[in-house]
């Protein structure tokens, strides 16, 4: 898998009448210094400051719209009377205390030489995009390295800077890609941080001591004069220093500075790990969000350790608001900004996997709909999650557990905003080796095809999405010509027709496709219409055209696709297309079959004698014209289009990766985007969009 390089910006969708944007954002780099000046409407806003001497790139200083400096000057430009604790707190930055045992957060000039090997540095590499406009855009690459210069993480950060109704806004999108195996060990100090001016500190009468991960002590002096007048409030109404360790979707720091009210708001994004985040917000002026530090914030009741394999990525998204005026920014205004931030929509991709090699089962990734980039969000335990289906209203996800001598299906509720799954219940399929699941939204019924015992299980569901005990279990009888694989029935898929009136069960063991009428209650007629395919074909999966006029079945053993016209008396074959051209008497092992969202293209995979996705054009009469064989990862058991048809994602069961391809709906061309992700035994994909 190759390294991920992408633009990190999303389409901004503004609420009509809520926001206005007119001010031009401009970036201006100094010729001989590592500084980029940022102005909004001609007024200085901030500098992107990236010398190696401060151990990470930062935005410093940062000004409010009234020109007031909201950041502490120390250690770069110390102001009289301001505190000089924590020299690593400078401007706005992002790093972490424990990455492969290295402390990136606390590194600064103050670390003794004999301790430097314990700390990491983020080294700026280059800009990949700088664009002026009403929304200023700047993207850079950097490397997280140890003291010897070894690269642990590749960072790509994008800033979008703008003015929205007089409020200055920073949107930061950071993707971290592992160069080697990387462990983010649960720790206190992280992740995105801002050190504010003395006036925005909370008054305190106590001198306090803080200790970093390697025992270095820092003292913060008491501030009891009138200069310090700041206060915190979070999205749940918690105030003052009590916001520290609490989870909330946003947090505001506010106070008076030069007779104006100043508001600084950090907004977490629902697609971030750990949402809503823990707040590492201190009264002495450190304003930070740390989604990875559960242990310290819960007194050991929870722990969050993030592991990334080489080339695996994770993305973090934050919005920072800076406002000045006669009053503090209101909760209603903040929530409007929050909704706007969330409207920069990313899709979520659920990937099911076999779990024998240690994968938890369900891995969730965010999908950048512009670039096809996938970033890890979270995972859930579900044994051998070989197939899954999302309900059309996106409220529930049903996931199989495919096991040889037993099987089950689990119901989850889906949080439409965050994509988080909450388990409802699990029911046994009775049939062994369940390998396909479908959902009928009319009768709210779940169907599973069970390969091991050649059967179909039917489950009704309750209003809360829970699975009711099995309502129907139909076992097929028969065999076919292959004395190894076709000695008994092997139901391999159960597909609902577009009109929701028929269930098509494809049986590899008997070379039959069974068409069952579906009753109003979701149960199926036990006397199906039977279509026989050629002996030894071993049909596996089936798809139907959007109107249900044509059906296409991939034959696993024969390496071919049969095209059918759907009639009242069954399926009438109109064509057979060979998709695996390798000459062999053995099983070809063809796998998945999918129609593009526009219905113009049919793709099928080969996964034993070759590793390919075969592209076929769908002609007006329903026949197929084979266009291309695309080489893909090893054993592509499953693949899927995204809902727009712009991308194809291929699950390599033995390649241990998910490949990302662009797809041209005009030509049918698939092109690797070099954004593949490593994942153990991926075999199924479902979208939340």
pLDDT in tens, 413-471: 998 877 889 999 999 999 999 999 999 999 999 999 999 999 999 999 999 999 999 99
Q: Residue written as tokens 């034959």?
A: 555
pLDDT of residue 34: 96
Q: Looking at the predicted structure, is the pLDDT value of residue 11 above 50?
A: no
Domains identified in the chain and CATH numbers: 25-342 (2.70.98), 347-429+457-474+545-688 (2.130.10.10)
pLDDT of res. 267: 98
pTM as predicted: 0.71
- Structure token pair of residue 688: 């939340």
Name the most confidently modeled range: 14-18, 338-342, 568-572, 632-636.
632-636
Backbone angles phi, psi at 332, to 5 degrees: -60, -40
- Say if residue 13's pLDDT is above 80: no
Quote the CA–CA distance of 40 and 27 in Å, as a whole number. 9
How confident is the model over 482-519, as pLDDT tens digits?
Answer: 999 999 999 999 999 999 999 999 999 999 999 999 99
- Rounded to a whole number of angstroms, the distance between the first and last alpha carbons of the chain is 26
Residue pLDDT, tens place only, 511-559: 999 999 999 999 999 999 999 999 999 999 999 999 999 999 999 999 9
- pLDDT category of residue 10 using cuts at 50, 70 and 90: very low
Using an 8 Å Cβ cutoff, are 628 and 669 in contact?
A: yes
Query: How crowded is residue 684: how many other Cβ atoms within 10 Å of its Cβ?
Result: 26
Q: What is the pLDDT of residue 3?
A: 33
Q: How many CB atoms lie within 10 A of CB 274?
A: 21
Q: Rounded to whole angstroms, how far apart are CA atoms 297 and 302? A: 9
Distances (CA, A) of 562 to 451, 511, 559, 592: 21, 12, 10, 13
In the sheet that 601-606 helps form, which strands lie side by side, from edge to edge? 590-595, 601-606, 612-618, 624-631
Residue 689: predicted pLDDT? 75
Any idea which residue has 């190759």 for tokens? 2
Please say if the pLDDT value at position 356 is more than 90: no
Q: What is the mean pLDDT of residues 15-28?
A: 66
Report the percentage of the chain scoring pLDDT > 70: 94
pLDDT band at 21 (very low <50, low <70, confident <90, very high): low
pLDDT in tens, 302-311: 999 999 989 8
Looking up tokens 């410093």, which residue turns up?
Answer: 60
What pLDDT is stored for residue 237 in this prediction? 97
3-state DSSP assignment of residue 294: helix
**C-beta separation of 122 from 89 below 8 A:** no
The answer to whether 504 and 451 are in contact (CB under 8 A) is no
Which of the two residues, 42 and 206, has the higher pLDDT score?
Answer: 42
Residue 344 pLDDT: 65
> Strand locations in 382-527, DSSP E?
388-390, 396-402, 407-414, 421-428, 434-440, 445-450, 455-460, 472-475, 491-496, 502-507, 512-517
Report pLDDT digits (tens) over 678-687.
999 999 999 9
pLDDT score recorded for residue 309: 87
pLDDT at 225: 63
Tell me the C-alpha distance between 102 and 309, whole Å: 17
Q: Which helix (H) or strand (E) holds 338?
A: helix 331-342
Q: How far is 64 from 255, CA to CA, in rounded Å?
A: 13
- CB-based contact 199:228 (threshold 8 Å): yes
The pLDDT of residue 404 is: 66
Higher pLDDT, 464 or 3: 464
Percent of the chain with pLDDT over 90: 84
Residue 352 has pLDDT above 80, yes or no: yes
Q: Decide which of 361 and 223 is more confident.
A: 361
Better pLDDT: 13 or 614: 614
| Contact call for residues 618 and 599 (beta carbons, < 8 A) | yes
Q: Which residues contact 67 (CB under 8 A, 6 or more apart)?
A: 43, 44
pLDDT of residue 7: 31
Q: Greatest CA separation found in the chain?
A: 91
280-297, pLDDT tens digit by residue? Answer: 999 999 999 999 999 999
How many C-beta atoms surround the C-beta of residue 621 within 10 A? 10
Of the listed ranges 393-407, 496-510, 551-565, 623-637, the one predicted with least confidence: 393-407
The span from the CA of 137 to the CA of 640, in Å, is 32
Over residues 218-244, the mean pLDDT reads: 86
Which of 655, 557, 661 has its CA nearest to residue 609? 557
CB 601 within 8 A of CB 624: no
Helices (H), 81-223: none
Higher pLDDT, 404 or 152: 152
């Amino acid at each position: 898998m190759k390294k991920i390089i992408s633009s990190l910006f999303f389409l901004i969708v503004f609420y009509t009448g809520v926001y206005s944007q007119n001010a031009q954002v401009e970036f201006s780099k100094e010729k001989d210094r590592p500084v980029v000046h940022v102005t909004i409407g001609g007024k200085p806003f901030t500098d992107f400051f990236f010398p190696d001497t401060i151990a990470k790139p930062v935005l410093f200083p940062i000004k409010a719209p009234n020109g007031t400096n909201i950041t502490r000057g120390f250690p770069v430009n110390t102001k009289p009377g301001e505190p000089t604790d924590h020299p690593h707190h400078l401007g706005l930055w992002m790093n972490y205390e424990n990455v492969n045992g290295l402390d990136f957060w606390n590194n600064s000039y103050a670390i003794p030489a004999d301790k430097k090997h314990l700390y990491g540095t983020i080294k700026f590499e280059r800009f990949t995009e700088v664009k002026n406009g009403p929304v200023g855009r700047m993207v850079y690459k950097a490397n997280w390295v140890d003291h010897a210069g070894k690269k642990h993480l590749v960072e790509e950060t994008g800033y979008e800077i703008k003015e929205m109704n007089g409020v200055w806004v920073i949107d930061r999108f950071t993707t971290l890609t592992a160069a080697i195996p990387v462990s983010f060990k649960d720790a206190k100090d992280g992740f995105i941080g801002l050190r504010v001016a003395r006036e925005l500190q909370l008054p305190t009468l106590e001198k306090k001591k803080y200790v970093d991960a390697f025992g270095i002590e820092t003292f913060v002096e008491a501030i009891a004069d009138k200069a310090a007048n700041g206060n915190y409030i979070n999205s749940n109404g918690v105030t003052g220093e009590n916001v520290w360790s609490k989870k909330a979707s946003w947090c505001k720091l506010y106070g008076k500075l030069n007779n104006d009210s100043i508001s600084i708001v950090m907004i977490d994004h629902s697609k971030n790990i750990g949402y809503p985040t823990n707040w590492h917000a201190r009264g002495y002026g450190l304003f930070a969000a740390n989604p990875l530090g559960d242990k310290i914030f819960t007194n050991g009741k929870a722990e969050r350790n993030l592991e990334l394999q080489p080339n695996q990525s994770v993305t973090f998204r934050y919005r920072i608001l800076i406002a000045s005026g006669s009053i503090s920014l209101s909760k209603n205004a903040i929530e409007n900004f929050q909704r706007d931030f969330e409207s920069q929509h990313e899709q979520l991709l659920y990937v099911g996997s076999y779990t024998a090699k240690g994968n938890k089962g369900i891995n969730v990734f965010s999908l950048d709909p512009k670039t096809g980039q996938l970033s890890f969000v979270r995972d859930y335990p579900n044994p051998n999650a070989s197939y899954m289906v999302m309900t059309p209203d996106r409220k529930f996800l049903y996931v199989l557990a495919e096991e040889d001598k037993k099987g089950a299906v689990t119901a989850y509720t889906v949080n439409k905003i965050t994509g988080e799954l909450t388990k409802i219940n699990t029911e046994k399929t009775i049939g062994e080796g369940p390998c396909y699941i479908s959902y009928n939204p009319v009768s709210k019924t779940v169907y599973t095809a069970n390969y091991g015992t050649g059967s179909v299980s039917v489950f009704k569901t309750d209003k809360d999405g829970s699975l009711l005990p099995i309502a129907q279990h139909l076992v097929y009888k028969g065999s076919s010509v292959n004395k190894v694989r076709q000695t008994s029935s092997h139901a391999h898929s159960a597909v609902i027709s577009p009109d929701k009136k028929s269930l098509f069960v494809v049986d590899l063991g008997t070379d039959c496709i069974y068409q069952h009428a579906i009753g109003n209650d979701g149960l199926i007629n036990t006397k199906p219409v039977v279509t026989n395919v050629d002996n030894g074909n071993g049909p596996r999966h089936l798809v139907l055209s959007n109107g249900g006029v044509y059906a296409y079945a991939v034959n696993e053993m024969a390496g071919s696709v049969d095209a059918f016209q759907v009639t009242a008396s069954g399926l009438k074959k109109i064509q057979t297309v060979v998709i695996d051209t390798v000459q062999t008497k053995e099983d070809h092992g063809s796998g998945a079959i999918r129609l593009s969202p526009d219905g113009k293209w049919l793709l099928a995979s080969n996964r034993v004698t070759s590793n390919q996705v075969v592209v076929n054009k769908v002609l007006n009469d329903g026949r197929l014209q084979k266009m291309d064989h695309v080489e893909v990862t090893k054993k592509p058991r499953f693949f899927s289009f995204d809902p727009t048809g712009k991308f194809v994602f291929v699950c390599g069961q033995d390649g241990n990766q998910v490949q990302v391809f662009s797809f041209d709906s005009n030509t049918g061309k698939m092109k690797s985007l070099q954004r593949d992700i490593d994942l153990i035994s991926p075999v199924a994909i479902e979208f939340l969009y």
